[in-house]
Amino acid sequence: AVHGGYRTALERGFAGGKVPLGLKRKGLRIVVTGGAGFVGSHLVDRLIERGDSVIVVDNFFTGRKENVMHHFGNPNFELIRHDVVEPLLLEVDQIYHLACPASPVHYKFNPVKTIKTNVVGTLNMLGLAKRVGARFLLTSTSEVYGDPLQHPQVETYWGNVNPIGVRSCYDEGKRTAETLTMDYHRGAQVEVRIARIFNTYGPRMCIDDGRVVSNFVAQALRKEPLTVYGDGKQTRSFQYVSDLVEGLMKLMEGEHVGPFNLGNPGEFTMLELAKVVQDTIDPNAKIEFRENTADDPHKRKPDITQAKELLNWEPKIPLREGLPLMVTDFSKRIFGDQ
């Protein structure tokens, strides 16, 4: 069938964007939901650079036009204000499904909406993938492991998640999104990919989104104390955004469904992170302890053996190299250009 006058990749014989050997690669039509957000906008930059046509679908809950404005006027770029909880008709070859608030402050703001975004939003994008024969990539999260009893976390670990807590709208929402993705794969033969993303930082993060790296960097720049929650001994592993984008694209183009952990195995306590921020921005920055939030995972570190072996991917940028790149962007946005 011809949908809206456009032949899908499947009908052209390029299932999921796979180009037959010997043929010059044709630009793909790619939807990025959540493409005006932090990770999405960096992904869009790379896809446009590669010569593909990109449609960003975003409701601007946490995303900003500023993140994609540099593509306005480019005929290969389109921006649609749309909430993925509502159905959407488009003709595309690939769907990168990122739409969902990612920081605890944002996803707890309206938990029911977060669940609807994860469940109904993902269902709609899978329905779209099924109808046009597009390949679908879900950005899931390390939060599916909950407060993990295995360390580091391997993809085969089923996790330790509280189903009725304040983080559940996000954790359980993403777990259901993974289930839906696999059910469309098994039941409707949709080509799918699942990424489990670990804590990621970089330019264009929301300045006041409450995540630890954005908080510490903004606080140090504003000469405010760094707020360490709890005793600061809990750990996270921080990945620079360009490494993640590379991993997402390799996953989409590769042969394997996943789920794949995409993260940087470099593990830091929050106190160690505060020290890196002090060394990078202001050695005199003070530390202030605050009460921790409920159900905060005690430790988190990806086992990325599978991504290394099957996707030939591993992160390249350690925290001490990536942080300064984010600081440049944050100081421009906080202090202006003067």
Q: Is 99 a binder of ligand NAD (CB under 6 A)?
A: yes
**Residue 184 bears catalytic tag:** no
Q: Give the x/- contact pattern for ligand UDP in 81-120, rule: CB under 6 A.
A: ------xxx--------------x----------------
Catalytic residue among 96, 170, 184, 201: 170
The CA distance from 285 to 13, in Å, is: 58
Q: Is 229 a binder of ligand UDP (CB under 6 A)?
A: yes
Work out which of 8, 122, 199, 242 binds ligand NAD, going by CB under 6 A. 199
The CA distance from 338 to 336, in Å, is: 6
Q: Is 127 a binder of ligand UDP (CB under 6 A)?
A: yes
141 to 170, contacts with ligand NAD by CB under 6 A? 141
H-type alpha helices, the chain: 38-49, 104-109, 111-116, 122-132, 168-188, 212-221, 241-253, 270-280, 305-306, 319-335
Work out which of 90, 98, 192, 304 binds ligand NAD, going by CB under 6 A. 98
**98 touches, from ligand NAD, ligand UDP, none (C-beta below 5 to 8 Å by class):** ligand NAD
Sequence-distant contacts of 70-73: CB under 8 A, at least 24 apart: 71/44
Q: Residue 229 forms beta bridges with which residues?
A: 290
**95 touches, from ligand NAD, ligand UDP, none (C-beta below 5 to 8 Å by class):** none
Q: 148 in helix, strand or coil?
A: coil
**324 touches, from ligand NAD, ligand UDP, none (C-beta below 5 to 8 Å by class):** none
Across the chain, which distance is largest between two alpha carbons, in Å? Answer: 65
The three-point CA angle 52-53-54 to 5° equals 110
Looking at residue 47, its amino acid is: L
Q: Which stretch, 4-12, 155-163, 171-179, 227-235, contacts ligand UDP (CB under 6 A)?
A: 227-235
Q: Is 124 a binder of ligand UDP (CB under 6 A)?
A: yes
Q: Which stretch, 5-13, 17-25, 52-60, 128-136, contacts ligand NAD (CB under 6 A)?
A: 52-60
The CA distance from 232 to 292, in Å, is: 9
Q: 266 in helix, strand or coil?
A: coil
Work out which of 199, 200, 261, 264 binds ligand UDP, going by CB under 6 A. 199
> Which residue number, 121 or 259, has a Cβ lying nearer to ligand NAD?
121
> Which residue number, 34 or 146, has a Cβ lying nearer to ligand NAD?
34
Q: Which two tokens stand for residue 171?
A: 């954790």
The CA distance from 287 to 275, in Å, is: 10
Q: Is 117 a binder of ligand NAD (CB under 6 A)?
A: yes
Work out which of 130, 151, 256, 275 binds ligand UDP, going by CB under 6 A. 130
CB-based contact 239:263 (threshold 8 Å):
yes
CA dihedral 239, 240, 245, 247 (to 10 degrees): -40
Q: Which residues of this protein are in contact with ligand UDP, per CB under 6 A?
A: 87-89, 104, 123-124, 127-128, 130-131, 199, 211-212, 215, 227-229, 234, 236, 270, 292-293, 296
